[in-house]
Chains A and B, each alone.
Chain A
Amino acid sequence: MEVIRCQGLTKRYGSTVAVDELDLAVDGGQVFGFLGPNGAGKTTTMRMLLGLVRPTRGQAWVHGRPLPDPGGLARIGAMLEEPAFYPWLSGRRNLEVLALSGPPLPDTGTVDAALNRVGLAAVAGRRVKAYSQGMRQRLGLAAALLRRPALLLLDEPTNGMDPAGMREFRALLGSLVDDGTTVFLSSHLLAEVEQVCDRVAVLHQGRLVEQGRVTELTAARARVRVVLEVADQPSAQTLLAGAGWPLRTDGPDALLVEAADGREVNQALGRGGVWARQLLVERPGLEEAFLHLIDAPIDKATTGEVSDAAAPR
């Protein structure tokens, strides 16, 4: 079932377009990654879904109901950017105040259950001003989980969390999805996203540039590394370029063939009488695929390629 749907969703601030004609559909019961560089419009989109920001144009639906839908907020949990709380109140009191601000909670132990779930029960009585950033992040998560939401919007939820916290967070996401919760997650930690998300959408300068399964996104950018004798490189280059594949050299004895299938490259070389010493299909990580999508320069070190000149001595 479709949980989120955006159709031509647009937000302008004066002449600046924050979100531009966004069409998006998110099915329930999954972790959906919402990616994009800073200023891409991710947080603005989330704010529009929560009714905090009014769209300039377009329409959005959450749980099939058109926005703004104040009554539907009880089914949505949200943590936007760095969570903020009343510093003079304790963690527990902050959650109690939030609980009072909305519809009644299902039972009296809900606040404690949320605190337990994020591992903050022991420090719940301490004032928030004494919390570390990671603890605030956990409290933000507890606030988002307070109403046992069917949809969870999380914007950079692991900022400031220690490795143990991030691991617990991954486990928490897993258990939430098992319970049928849909998680709409924005994060800059692409390795993290790759581990937890089923599908992702990439936003760049307010526009949706790609969406699909993580594996599809990375598979689409697979390339074949062909290692040959140095003397064979020019003829191999002619053969493969002639077959229409974009390619580039990587040192005197290697070629990188973009968007190609290993078997086809092998066949093309064999037909031309060139035999490779080694053929390796390289699938880029989500990070490289993401950088490719937003046309950012790819640091070779991040793609696993180390040139001789840059290699440590």
Chain B
Amino acid sequence: MRLLRAELAKLNRPLLWGVTLASALFCVLLAVGGSANARMNVTTGAQDQVPSCAVMALPKGPACAKAQALQRARIEQGRAELALAASHTAAQLHPVAAGAEAAGLMASLPGALALALLAGGHAGGEWSGRTMKNLLTQHGRRWRVLAAKLASLWLAGVGLVAACWAALAVAGPILVRANHLADPHQSLATAARWAGSQAARSLLVLAVFAAIGLLAAVLTRNTIGTMATSAGLFVAMLVVAALPASGRWTPATWVQGWMGFAVGERSITALPDNFWSRFINAGGSPPSHLLGLTGLVAALAACALLALATFARSDVAG
């Protein structure tokens, strides 16, 4: 615990505050865009008119009337879907339910890139700043040093979720009101269950992201190398998952399965709840929660053990 306290004290730095501010701002800007999209969709849908017989190139009569009735039903259905989507957006921006949005964003590419930056500064920076020798001359048990680094990086990720949640909790109701989005009639319990479930699930994904960042730090032993390598690994995960033959056996699809992200382009909504599954090939069925959980735990263990094996054998020469 003392080591973890030391790591957290070191995390209190401009890089962390900058990344946190940028993440919160990103979430709020996304919510601004998402709520405006929802309103625009509803407005556009309301303007849809049943086409005349002339527009449909049909003679007036029963055939035209039947076609118009079909069109009317289609328009009504479209309007209902758009209203439902707008209501869903309003539900996403509920102060409590915003936790699900924040968790989804931080457990996908934005959070992964934020953790890559933090891993670069917090872990890789120990080599670049030549402070690793100080640390190891105080505490020679390297596995503990590495565990404290991993835990502190993970807590930084959790902090990012909390910051985004807080930002959305403040901005969300304002945006819903400003865009006249329909009341989703969402109970507090439902909102809490939704947010709690996604936030809890994101904890494992953040731990995997932190472990990947730590592994990159141990392998590259410098700030920029860690940032670039971990960001590259995250992108590579998505690229591999996008390959048609990759199926359900990639870390990216495990994240998708565990977080319950909608498959492929279905995740592109007025207000996206993740930036992950849109990059993944939607051909195959996504892995279940259980497969996602198993895969992510295995990935976490593999990254942590590889980082430890490398770190335990490496010379600290800088």
Q: Which residues of A contact B (CB under 8 A)?
A: 47, 50-54, 68-71, 73, 76, 78, 80-89, 93, 96-102, 104, 143
Q: Given A86-B10, A86-B129, A101–B315 Cβ distance below 8 Å?
A: no
Please list the residues of chain B having a beta carbon within 8 angstroms of any beta carbon in chain A.
2-3, 5-6, 9-10, 13-14, 129-131, 133-141, 313, 315-317
B315 touches A84 (CB 8 A): no
Q: List 16 A-B contacts (CB under 8 A).
A: A47-B133, A50-B133, A50-B136, A53-B317, A68-B140, A73-B140, A76-B137, A80-B137, A84-B129, A84-B134, A89-B10, A93-B9, A96-B9, A98-B6, A98-B134, A102-B138
Residue on A with the closest CB to B5?
A: A100
CB closest residue in chain B, given A82? B130
Contacts of A104 in B (CB 8 A): 2
Task: Give the interface SS of chain B, mostly helix, strand, loop or mixed.
Answer: helix
Contacts of A93 in B (CB 8 A): 9
Tell me the bound Cα distance from A97 to B221 in angstroms.
Answer: 21
A52 to B312, CA, bound (A): 10
Q: A70-B140, A100-B2, A101-B2 are in contact. Are A88 and B129 (CB under 8 A)?
A: no
Main secondary structure of the interface of A (DSSP, over half): loop
B136 lies within 8 A of A51 (CB): yes
A143 to B9, CA, bound (A): 17
Name the one of B6, B129, B313 contacting A97, with C-beta atoms under 8 angstroms.
Answer: B6
What separation, in Å, do the CA atoms of A98 and B133 have in the docked complex?
Answer: 11
Separation of A86 and B10 alpha carbons in the complex (Å): 8
Q: How close is B11's CB to chain A, nearest CB, in angstroms?
A: 10
Note all chain A residues with C-beta closer than 8 A to B140.
Answer: 51, 68-71, 73
B83 nearest CB across to chain A (Å):
50
Q: A147 to nearest B CB, angstroms?
A: 8
List the A side residues contacting B137 at CB < 8 Å: 50, 52, 73, 76, 78, 80
Whether B10 and A97, one on each chain, are in contact in the complex, defined by CB atoms closer than 8 angstroms, is yes
Closest to B130 in A: A84
- In the complex, which residue of chain B has the Cβ closest to the Cβ of A80? B133
Which of A52, A68, A104 is packed against the most chain B CB atoms within 10 Å? A52
The residue from A52, A85, A86 contacting B316, defined by CB atoms under 8 A apart = A52
A101 touches B138 (CB 8 A): yes
Docked pose: A100 CA to B3 CA in angstroms:
6
- B134–A54 CB distance below 8 A: no
Across-interface contacts of A85 in B (CB, < 8 A)? 131, 134
Q: What is the CB-to-nearest-CB distance from A165 to chain B, in angstroms, rounded to a whole number?
A: 21
With both beta carbons as reference points, the residue of chain A lying nearest to B135 in the complex is identified as: A101
Whether A97 lies near B9 (C-beta < 8 A) is yes
A51–B131 CA distance with the chains assembled, in angstroms: 15
Given A54-B315, A69-B140, the answer on whether A143 and B134 have CB atoms closer than 8 Å is yes
Residue of B13, B14, B140, B316 with most chain A CB atoms under a 10 A cut-off: B140
Cα-based distance from A68 to B130 in the complex (angstroms): 21
Choice from A52, A54, A89, A100 contacting B133 with Cβ under 8 Å: A52
A89 to B8, CA, bound (A): 12
A86 to B139, CA, bound (A): 17
Known: A52-B317, A101-B6. 16 other contacts (CB 8 A): A47-B133, A50-B136, A51-B136, A69-B140, A73-B137, A78-B133, A80-B137, A84-B134, A86-B13, A86-B129, A97-B9, A98-B134, A100-B5, A101-B3, A101-B134, A101-B138
